[in-house]
Chains A and B, each alone.
Chain A
Amino acid sequence: MSYPRNVSSPPRLQPRAHPRRPTWALVGAGGVLAAIGIVAALGGFADTPITKVPTIAIGEVYEGQQIDVSIEGAEVGRQTAFLTADDGEQLVIVSALVVNRADVPVSNRAIQLVVLMGDVRLLEDPDAIVTPRDGETVGSLQPGVPTLLQYVWRTRGDVASGDDAVVGIYEAVPDPNDIYDPGQLGLPNPVRRIELVLA
């Protein structure tokens, strides 16, 4: 192709002189740095203080938000007045004295127990929570009446009288942020521990 004599050839296209756009990698890195900065500013990298749950003695009362509770003892056996272990099982029975200080019945889930015995860990949800006086399965605690409860777990673990054990008390309190049911209990938190020897 030729051009007329008096017409100059078109100028060569030159790259425009403007700064290079940042690549997506740089944008991502900046975002990560910003996120780290925000986490740091909010104290996310501060050392979390680890406090040991206070230990109380057998019979000592823990005063909860709604429920007072004291652990009266723990034992291993084959049966209670109202429960019998199956073959190969044993029953771990923790006796607790509870008082509901609220004005209304409160679920037994407000106070939960765990038992730690070496490798045997009996966590929440015992097989039965009963009153030893009549074997009543207790779903709610009546206001103001001291009540002796037996928390009973069935276990096939290696436990025996004389073993050391730790009973942990967990407390669940109503969640004020639950807009659908303000009386609904929130998640339980560990509040006290009791070191004892199984009878």
Chain B
Amino acid sequence: MRRGVRRAASIAAAAALVAAAGAIVAATPGDDQVFEVLRVDGAVGERLVGRVQTATVTGVELADTLRFGYAGGTVVETEGVWLVADITVVDRIESLSLTYVQLEIGDRVFNLYRGAPYPTATSFESQPGIPYAGPIAFELPREVLDDPARRDARLVVRYVPDGIVETVPVVHLDLTDLEVEARADLDEARTLTFDEAGEPAPVEPDDAAGSGS
């Protein structure tokens, strides 16, 4: 009798160990999760704070053509459609770049358009702690205008490519109600200051004169 009890206890203990091992394996994140960025989600107008960068998207538009307002008015056309987002960024620790910002629509991922002459927000030489603002653009295929996933497009403000654990702002965009304009302007980026509430604000002419720049 005692031997039977002991054997049953051994079997139960072994089963418990196997179950515990399975639970540990199931709970262990895979490579995709280990190396995925940590997203700080928000909507247009929200100031999203990552560890190294804060981002606020203040407006979004769609357009057939893109115009560089500061570079002789060059107009760039596309077979698709342009998405232009006005973004305000503060690099919190060191000077970073928006080069790796991506737009996700459903399972599709789009890189930032990098063809605009310097200095757009894409190529802006920022200073840590000093906010700057400007439009960024994405070239999208025309069919995204009929894609149901456009209701929740995601602007991922990453400063590095995949493969690093970092908090990044992710701005959710609803593109369903946007009309496609004939033209969107891609203006140069500009430095901002902070208002009394600590929010990024345009530099007043007096401030600019006082700064000596």
Contact surface of A with B, Cβ cutoff 8 Å: 103-105, 131, 133-137, 139-140, 142-147
**Majority SS of interface residues in chain A?**
loop
Q: Would you call B111 and A134 a contact (CB within 8 A)? A: no
Question: In the assembled complex, how far is the CB of residue B34 from the closest CB belonging to chain A, in whole angstroms?
Answer: 14
Contact surface of B with A, Cβ cutoff 8 Å: 74, 76-80, 107-111, 113-116, 138-141, 143-144
Q: A100 — nearest CB in chain B belongs to which residue?
A: B141
Q: Would you call B76 and A145 a contact (CB within 8 A)? A: no
6 A-B pairs with the lowest CB-CB distances in the bound complex, closest first: A144-B141, A136-B115, A134-B115, A145-B80, A146-B79, A104-B109
**Majority SS of interface residues in chain B?**
strand
Question: In the assembled complex, how far is the CB of residue A165 from the closest CB belonging to chain B, in whole angstroms?
Answer: 27
Question: In the assembled complex, how far is the CB of residue A147 from the closest CB belonging to chain B, in whole angstroms?
Answer: 8
Question: In the assembled complex, how far is the CB of residue B211 from the closest CB belonging to chain A, in whole angstroms?
Answer: 33
Known A133-B77, A143-B110, A144-B108; 20 more pairs at CB < 8 Å:
A103-B107, A103-B108, A104-B109, A134-B74, A134-B76, A136-B114, A136-B115, A139-B114, A142-B110, A142-B111, A143-B108, A143-B109, A143-B141, A144-B80, A144-B141, A145-B80, A145-B139, A145-B141, A146-B80, A147-B79
> Which of A131, A134, A137 is the most central at the interface, judged by chain B CB atoms within 10 Å of its CB?
A134
Q: Would you call B76 and A133 a contact (CB within 8 A)? A: yes
What would 9 A/B residue contacts be, using CB atoms closer than 8 Å? Answer: A105-B109, A105-B110, A131-B115, A134-B76, A134-B116, A135-B115, A142-B140, A144-B144, A145-B78
CA distance in complex: A103, B104 (Å): 10
Question: In the assembled complex, how far is the CB of residue A130 from the closest CB belonging to chain B, in whole angstroms?
Answer: 9
Given A131-B115, A145-B140, verify A104-B78 contact (CB < 8 Å).
Answer: no
Q: Which residues of B contact A131 (CB under 8 A)?
A: 115
